[in-house]
Amino acid sequence: MAGSGTLSAFRLPPLPTIREIIKLFRLQAAKQLSQNFLLDLRLTDKIVRKAGNLTDAYVYEVGPGPGGITRSILNANVAELLVVEKDSRFIPGLQMLSDAAPGKLRIVHGDVLTFKIERAFPESLKRQWEDDPPNVHIIGNLPFNVSTPLIIKWLENVSCRDGPFIYGRTQMMLTFQKEVAERLTANTGSKQRSRLSVMAQYLCSVQHILTIPGQAFVPKPEVDVGVVHFTPLVRPRIEQPFKLVEKVVQNAFQFRRKFCYRGLGEELKQNKSKNQEKEDDKEKHRL
C-alpha cells in the first residue's frame, strides 16, 4: 500500500493515448451496459481538479473503463487509487496503468453495487462524523444504467454511516445524465424537483459542478452529462430512518405538482389503517 508524504509530484510516464488503448485492446462500448468513454484528458483533468486537493488522498474510482479519469487521478499525486471494474475487457489496459504507477493503483475486477469498501483503506484515515471530511474520495464516470440505483445505495450508506462512509463524510464526484444531475441539485419549487432531489439534499450538500457535452464521449450519448459533487452533512435535514424518508418521499412524488398531496394522503391513510388494526387487536385481547 502506498505511503503518504511523497517528496515530489508523481507523473505518469509517456503512455499510449486512451484512443490507442481502445484500438490496441479492440474495446467497444457495450450499449447494454450504457458505456460511454471520455477520451479528452483536459476534461478528465478538470473533473479531478474539481474534486478538490487529492495530494496523498486515497481515491475509490468506480467504472474506470479504458482509464481516462484514472490517469488524471494518478497524476493528481494520490497516495493510492482503488478502481473497481466489472467489465473484464478493460482490465489489461488498467494493468498497463498499474505497471506505470507502481504501488499507486489497485485493480478489483468486480461489481461496484456489491463491492465492500469498508476494509479497503487504512484504519488511520477514519474521522469522526463531526470532523472535516477524511482524505478519502469517490470519483466515477458512471454508466447511466447504474447511476441512480448506486447513488440511492450510497445515500443509504450516508444515513447509516457505513460502506464508503465508515471513514467519515467521504466526498463524491460523479457523472450522471444531465437531467438526473439537475434533479439531484434542484431547489425547492423548481420544475426539476423530484424524489432524487429530496433524498440527496436531506443528507448531503449537492452541487452541479459542470456539464460535459455529449459529443465529448465515444460513442456520443443522446444527452449531455452533468458532474455532481456530494459532501455528506454533519446532521441530516430530516432526522428519521432512511427507509421511512424514502417511502414518504416516494409516495409524495407519485403525483406531480398540485396533486402531490394525494401521495402524502395515501401514506397517511396506510399508516392510520395500520394503527387502527393494532388498536383492534389490542381490544380483542382485552375481551
Tell me whether residue 247 is in a domain. no
**Same domain (yes/no): 71, 182:** yes
Q: Give domain status of residue 248, yes or no.
A: no
pLDDT of 7 strictly over 70: no
Same domain, 121 and 260: no
144 inside domain: yes
**Residues 101-154: pLDDT tens digits?**
999 999 999 999 999 999 999 999 999 999 999 999 999 998 888 999 999 999
Q: Is 281 annotated as a binding residue?
A: no
Q: Are residues 280 and 170 in the same domain?
A: no
Q: Is 207 part of any domain?
A: yes
pLDDT digits (tens, 9 = 90+) for 33-65: 557 888 899 999 999 999 999 999 999 999 899
Any known ligand binding at 145? no
Quick one: pLDDT at residue 4? Answer: 43
CATH no. for residue 184? Answer: 3.40.50.150
For the chain, give the number of residues.
287
The C-alpha cell at 75 is 497524476
Confirm whether residue 162 is marked as ligand binding. no
The answer to whether the annotation marks 63 as part of a ligand binding site is yes
The answer to whether 85 is annotated as binding is: yes
| Domain contains 225 | yes
pLDDT value at 99 more than 70: yes
Range of the domain at 278: 254-285
Same domain for 153 and 74: yes
pLDDT per position as a tens digit, 182-221: 999 999 989 999 999 999 999 999 999 999 999 998 888 8
Closest CA to 99 of 9, 6, 7, 15: 15
Supply the pLDDT for residue 5. 42
Is 8 inside any structural domain? no
Whether 260 and 193 map to the same domain: the answer is no
CA distance 242 to 249: 10
Q: What's the pLDDT at 144?
A: 87
Q: Are residues 91 and 204 in the same domain?
A: yes
Is 262 a residue whose pLDDT tops 70?
A: no
Is residue 115 located within the same domain as residue 217?
yes
Greater pLDDT, 50 or 286? 50
Cα separation, 45 vs 41, in Å, equals 6
Mean pLDDT taken over the chain: 87
Q: Count how many domains the chain has.
A: 2
Neighbours of 277 (CB within 10 A): 10
- Do 59 and 197 lie in one domain? The reply is yes
Cα 88 from Cα 81, distance rounded (Å) = 18
Assess whether 136 and 200 both reside in one domain.
Answer: yes
Same domain? For 275 and 166 the reply is no
Q: Is 53 annotated as a binding residue?
A: no
* 238: CB partners within 8 A, 6+ apart: 202, 245
Instruction: Look at residue 10 and tell me if it is in a domain.
Output: no
Q: Please check the confidence at residue 30 and state whether its pLDDT lies above 90.
A: no
- 32 Cβ contact partners less than 8 Å away, ≥ 6 residues apart: none
14-25 residue pLDDT tens: 888 888 888 877
Q: Does 47 map to a domain? A: yes
Q: Are residues 198 and 74 in the same domain?
A: yes
In a shared domain, residues 76 and 113: yes
